[in-house]
Structure 1
Amino acid sequence: MAKARKKADLPTKVCAVCGLPFTWRRKWARDWERVRYCSERCRRAAKRRGERA
């Protein structure tokens, strides 16, 4: 059985809207390179501001 990773060892990014850091999530495993926003709320806010997704 594989050992679990510590949260501190996971990659992080900074949200393009709110500027807060967020860490990798399993659901983002396939497209981590394309993830720009920490939450659905920030993604919607970017859409309202006219940013490209």
Structure 2
Amino acid sequence: MPHKKLHLATKDCRVCGRAFAWRKKWERDWNKVLYCSQRCRKASKQTFEQST
């Protein structure tokens, strides 16, 4: 049985650098997705607050 999910678009997370794949829930705003997880999103906000 061939799988269709082998050729999904991928991006690198801005915080951890890990590659993550396109998901159906990100269909509308894939261009705006920058982080692989909520943990990385929170970590980016913490580093931003510490730098100011």
Normalized against structure 1, the TM-score is what?
Answer: 0.81
Which is helix-richer, 1 or 2?
2
For structure 1, list consecutive stretches of 5 or more residues without a partner in the other structure. none
| Structure of greater Rg | 2
Between the two proteins, the alignment pairs up a number of residues equal to 47
Please give the TM-score of this superposition, normalised by the length of structure 2: 0.82
Where has structure 1 moved over 2 Å in runs of 4 or more? 5-8
RMSD value over aligned CA atoms? 1.6
Q: Percent identity?
A: 57
What is the rounded CA distance, in whole Å, between the counterparts of 1:7 and 1:22 in structure 2?
A: 13
Residue of structure 2 in register with 1:25 after alignment: 23
